[in-house]
Amino acid sequence: MTAGSGNKDFSKAERIKIHQPDANKADRLNPNNRIYVRAVHGVWTQLRRRMGWIAMAFFLLLPWLPWGDRQAVWFNLAEQKFHIFGLTIWPQDLTLLAAVFMIAAFGLFFITTYLGRVWCGYTCPQTVWTFIFIWFEEKIEGARNKRIKLDQMPWSFNKIWRKTAKHSVWLLISWVTAMTFVSYFVPTTELYQDFFSLNAGGGIYFWVMFFTLATYGNAGWMREIMCLHMCPYARFQSAMFDKNTYIVGYDAARGETRGPRSRKADPKALGLGDCIDCDLCVQVCPTGIDIRNGLQYECINCGACIDACDQTMDRMGYQQGLISYTTENKLEGKQEKVLRPKLLGYGAILIIMILLLSYATASIAPMRVDIIRDRNTLYRINVDGLIENTYTLKILNKTEQAHVHYFEVSGLTNYQWIGPQQVSSKGGEILVLPVSIEVDPVDLNRSITKMTIKVLTEIDGEQVVVEQETRFFSQ
């Protein structure tokens, strides 16, 4: 669809207009070609800000939240344990993480099919941080026109202090972001103490520096370039869109023919539509596109152009909604169909995955045992003529408390357990215990006997049994 085309049918190619940004757009790292985003106020901007604040508060405060004697969310890479409140995920439970990623993917598919790229427009960290940086840019350098003039004027004291202040604030935000991100992997208080006393390892300083520069570069300089050229999500969204997906759309039938006019003029008498061609919808767009040109892959559904256009409509005394969250079917005057097979399919898979994950999480065993047979000797006959097999037990205590473990063997009769009858493990400990089992040959009727070693542990008044099958070899 192109501006001025009226209310005609859309081809798929027209609907998803994958056009390349022009040369100026691609060269946005050149200050002369940068987008100067105009500030806007309105319902959607307010909503985006609130969601941004919630996301930021969540991100910044979570590493400070205690849980017993550790922090509530701690991805302990050194010990290969992920702590999420009361849940500890070990490498053995990594399938759970795979399920979490799948839920996130299907959640994204569901939301995108229903509401388009609202993830990008409202909650994607790239967008949240970019809008925070733009907010400080506006406070320090002024509104859009002032910023354009400031960049064009020669260097002066005014320009130097404003640029220095802006980049200092950006770097400070980037550093806080980096420290917060690293504190999900290193205990927070320890990180800050070691960082400022210069006792942190080289790796910590490297990653803090890396994430500081990455945040500063992405939100300060790259901005929409990340979305246009580096984010894969923008590329495959068209597979999820259909004519009933909510997109930000311009009502060309109502808006065209566009053109300036006085507030008192009757547009019909002038042969004009409701678009006064004020260009505000373009100036507020963080990706620098003109939504009047139809659906474009650069659009992140942020709604800024809706707020800008609604303000213009209010000023002109016209009805709001020339640009709105709408569907292509609605724009074409057809019936919208919200509940459709693709959306229901994504929703059903999402619910099933969440139920499966909840069940798998609730049934994570608090203990795990691995039994490794002695690889050098299948068996040996001791001085009493008994057949002896040797094993190494690895007991993983996945809880955060110490526990006492007892042992039982099933599948063998009249066996003797050579080793401790009970052992204790600390929370999170992997206990390695060599043991032997002796059996009189008369009690064995085959050369390889299947048997099971059970580890019994009392946890919160309940007996938990973990077991593993192994073999007993004889002559």
Question: Contact residues for ligand SF4 (CB under 6 A)?
Answer: 248, 250, 255, 258, 275-281, 284-287, 289, 291-292, 299-305, 308-309, 312, 322-323
Cβ at position 121, least distance to ligand SF4 in Å = 6
Return the number of the residue (4 or 434) whose C-beta is nearest ligand SF4.
4
Return the number of the residue (200 or 302) whose C-beta is nearest ligand SF4.
302
Distance CA 161, CA 141 (A): 10
∠ CA(370), CA(373), CA(374), 5° rounding? 135
Structure tokens at 87: 């849940």
Cβ at position 358, least distance to ligand SF4 in Å = 35
Distance CA 139, CA 193 (A): 32
CB 290 within 8 A of CB 270: no
Cβ at position 59, least distance to ligand SF4 in Å = 23
Distance CA 290, CA 3 (A): 10
Return the number of the residue (234 or 393) whose C-beta is nearest ligand SF4.
234
Cβ at position 306, least distance to ligand SF4 in Å = 7
Return the number of the residue (204 or 304) whose C-beta is nearest ligand SF4.
304
Return the number of the residue (287 or 449) whose C-beta is nearest ligand SF4.
287
Distance CA 326, CA 248 (A): 6
Return the number of the residue (145 or 168) whose C-beta is nearest ligand SF4.
145
Q: What is the DSSP string of 287-313?
A: T---GGG--BTT-----HHHHHHHHHH
Cβ at position 46, least distance to ligand SF4 in Å = 15
Cα within 13 Å of Cα(376), Cβ side: 3
Structure tokens at 359: 């069940």
Which residue is listed with tokens 């979490």?
100
Structure tokens at 10: 């859309």
Cβ at position 131, least distance to ligand SF4 in Å = 11
Which residue is listed with tokens 């205590």?
397
Nearest alpha carbon to residue 441 among 382, 358, 357: 382
Nearest alpha carbon to residue 397 among 423, 366, 361: 366
Return the number of the residue (277 or 374) whose C-beta is nearest ligand SF4.
277
Cβ at position 33, least distance to ligand SF4 in Å = 17
Cβ at position 117, least distance to ligand SF4 in Å = 8
Cβ at position 35, least distance to ligand SF4 in Å = 10
**Count of beta carbons in the 10 Å neighbourhood of residue 5:** 13
Angle between helices 125-141 and 144-152 (to 10 degrees): 70
Cβ at position 105, least distance to ligand SF4 in Å = 23
Structure tokens at 172: 């400070």
Q: Is 227 helix (H, G, I), strand (E, B) or coil?
A: helix
**DSSP conformation class of 122:** I
**Count of beta carbons in the 10 Å neighbourhood of residue 246:** 21
Distance CA 426, CA 429 (A): 5
Return the number of the residue (188 or 287) whose C-beta is nearest ligand SF4.
287
CB 128 within 8 A of CB 120: no
Return the number of the residue (204 or 309) whose C-beta is nearest ligand SF4.
309
Return the number of the residue (234 or 308) whose C-beta is nearest ligand SF4.
308
